Amino acid sequence: MVAVPMGMRCTDASAEAFGVETLEAHDAFEVATAIKAQTGRTWQPVQVEDVHYGTTPTIARFAREHPEGDFLVVTAGHCMALRDGELTDTEFGGPRRRVVGVVRINR
């Protein structure tokens, strides 16, 4: 996990992981929009619900199943960057938190 300064907002840390400024983004959608505006990289939502169990994966499972690629991972009220298996997060809530949404940042 990449360490970030204390008190940094999750959206700012996620954007910084992609080398962009968010201008006070409030959610992962605004971070993805900033990434596209500043780098030209497009994005798309990713289906994360497990069709066999009807649940979403934990952060640890999603990271394990996606060792390559760039993602914004959303949990309840929080977002983080996952770049080639390296998680940038401002909280230490643990890898067992449930993922509620994912945005793939295309290369």
Name the E strands within the chain.
43-46, 70-75, 78-83, 86-88, 101-105
For 37, half-sphere exposure in the C-beta direction (CA atoms, 13 angstrom radius) is 11
Residue 2 domain flag:
no
Residue 45 lies in a domain: yes
Q: Is the residue at 1 inside a domain?
A: no
Any domain includes 62: yes
Q: Is residue 5 part of a domain?
A: no
Which residues, 6+ apart, have CB-to-CB distance to 5 below 8 Å?
none
Q: How far apart are CA 71 and CA 83, in angstroms?
A: 6
Identify the pLDDT of residue 62.
92
Euclidean distance between CA atoms 49 and 38, whole angstroms:
30
pLDDT of 51 reads 59
Is residue 53 in a domain? yes
**pTM higher than the cut 0.75:** yes
Structural domains of the chain, count: 1
Supply the range of the domain harboring residue 28.
Answer: 10-105
Say what the pLDDT of residue 53 is. 65
Whole-number pLDDT of residue 54 = 67
Instruction: Give pLDDT tens digits along the chain (107 positions).
Output: 776 777 788 999 999 999 998 777 888 899 999 999 999 999 999 988 765 666 889 999 999 999 999 999 999 889 999 999 999 988 877 788 899 999 999 98
Residue 42 lies in a domain: yes
Residue 3 lies in a domain: no
